[in-house]
Amino acid sequence: MDKKKVRDYMTYDVVSVSHDAFVKDVMEKIRTTNHDGFPVVKGEDVVGYISARDLLFAPPDTPVEKVMSRNLIVADPDMSISDAARVIFRSGIQKLPVVDEKNHLLGIVSNSDVIRSQIERVSPEKVFNFITTLKKLYGVDPALNRGTIPINDLVPTQSKIYEDELEGRIYEIKKGLAEPIIVVRRPKKTILVDGHHRAVAAKKMGITMLDAYIIEITQDIELGMERTAQAMNLHTLDDIQILDYARHPLVALTRRSVKKV
């Protein structure tokens, strides 16, 4: 069951527009906030949504209520983030206002928030597909266990991570939402296969053990990803470069598409 909820990823500090505002007011909000759209509220109730495309050819003194979209799709804060993802991507909208049972505005969740929640997502298919690959490449028969791994024992196989995603993983760990990492454990070595952002985030927080799917190999064989890691001088988590000037490519792509709307 997906324990990640909309409330864990939505933005609580929402910029909204009053139902009695005008197009010129919305244009000013777009200019000053760099947002492309806003929930329209009457008191605490959400009554519509207005985006940049709604302003096309509308005179500045046009009332918001005449051009806003009234066919609202909204999210509940306890909705799973996976369900929110389906709604966002199937409907083609960029943002979902989040409301309570009285239709009061609580926050907003965007497609960027959804993609952020899915980065480094662990699924049973991912684990078992990797095990199948190991069997084919090395002729081994790995065992799969679930347990905790000392963070300082991890040998990374990814040379770079992203500062913005690192902040997201720190948030998830604090909220108890972090998923297990995936490691291969063979004699005298524990190789980090998936979950580099989570591992570095945990280390920054002073956490010493991390939940993991542990793929056990009894044979002392060197994996191809280990040789690649050695070529990149990756020996501990401290060797991973944190890119604080870049955004995760998936999130950056989404943000670019949002700005074009």
pLDDT (0 to 100) of residue 249: 47
pLDDT (0 to 100) of residue 62: 96
Q: 192 pairs with which residues across the strands?
A: 183
**Segment 168-223, tens digit of pLDDT:** 888 888 888 888 999 999 988 999 999 999 999 999 999 999 999 999 999 988 88
Rounded to an integer, what distance in angstroms lies between the CA atom of residue 193 and that of residue 110?
A: 29
pLDDT (0 to 100) of residue 59: 95
pLDDT (0 to 100) of residue 142: 93
Ranges of residues in the chain with a pLDDT under 70 are 1-2, 116, 118-122, 245-261
Instruction: Give the domains, in start order, of the chain with CATH numbers.
Output: 6-117 (3.10.580.10), 119-249 (3.90.1530.10)
pLDDT (0 to 100) of residue 247: 47
